[in-house]
Each structure stands twice: as structure tokens, then as C-alpha cells.
Amino acid sequence: MRMSELIARPVVDSAGELVGQVADVRLIQDGPLLQQVQNAFRVAGLIVVARHTGRLFGYERGPAIKGPWLIRALLGVLHRDTRYVTWEQVGGIDGERIVLRVPVRELASVRDLYQEGRADA
């Protein structure tokens, strides 16, 4: 599957409730060694937005992103329900939908990824 096939797909939780749609894919470069040069990328998780309110500009990703406070505040409100779904939480793909193994309440806020001290951020 190509990454472009994941973007904009609807995501539902384990109860069938709509969580949102995939806005971005988080990759980790820890796969098998390719041509003795670098490791392959693998999907670590999905960034899911509850409603399509424009592009993600990076401001939703935490306090380390600097910029005009008014824009940060506005985009923070618009994307307050942006969630991070680990690849382990994905149960499968049913038609056009990505189905999760967990309820929406168990999903992390995307801001939680960028807290100081997190090793995987």
C-alpha cells in the first residue's frame, strides 16, 4: 500500500464511530537495511483530524513550534481534536475506511507526541 492511499481515508473506532480522516502519516526509519546504505521506513502511526478545517501547518504539534501567537492559538482551537493513532491500534481496512481496535477515548492527542522528555517524539 502506498502512503497516498492512506491520506484522507475515514477512520472509525472499534465501535464504528467516525473519528475523522487521515491527515498525515508518521514514519520511523528502522526497517531492514536497503542496499547497505540506509534503513527502510515503516509506518509508526496516523495523524487523524476530526474535521477538515484546512491543512495542518505544524502548530498543532506542540509548544516547540514558534510563530505568531494568534495563528498558533487559532489553529490550536481548530485542531484540538487531532489524534494520533499508533499503527498497533489499527485493526485493518474495511473498504475505504480504516478501522481501529480501540475506542476513540484511548487515542492520544497529537500534542502528547511532542511533550518534552518523550523518547519517541
pTM, two decimals, is 0.73
Q: Are 99 and 91 in contact (CB under 8 A)?
A: yes
In angstroms, rounded to a whole number, what is the distance separating the alpha carbons of residues 70 and 90?
Answer: 35
Give the Cα separation of 54 and 74 in Å (integer).
Answer: 12
CB contact at 8 A, 108 and 82:
no
| Eight-state DSSP code of residue 112 | G
How many residues does the structure list for the chain?
A: 121
**Whole-angstrom Cα distance, residue 52 to residue 38?**
35
The number of beta carbons lying within 10 Å of the beta carbon of residue 121 is 12
pLDDT tens per residue across span 38-84 = 998 989 999 998 866 545 555 555 555 566 767 666 666 666 678 89
Q: Cell numbers for 42, please give them.
A: 515503516
Average pLDDT over residues 92-109: 93
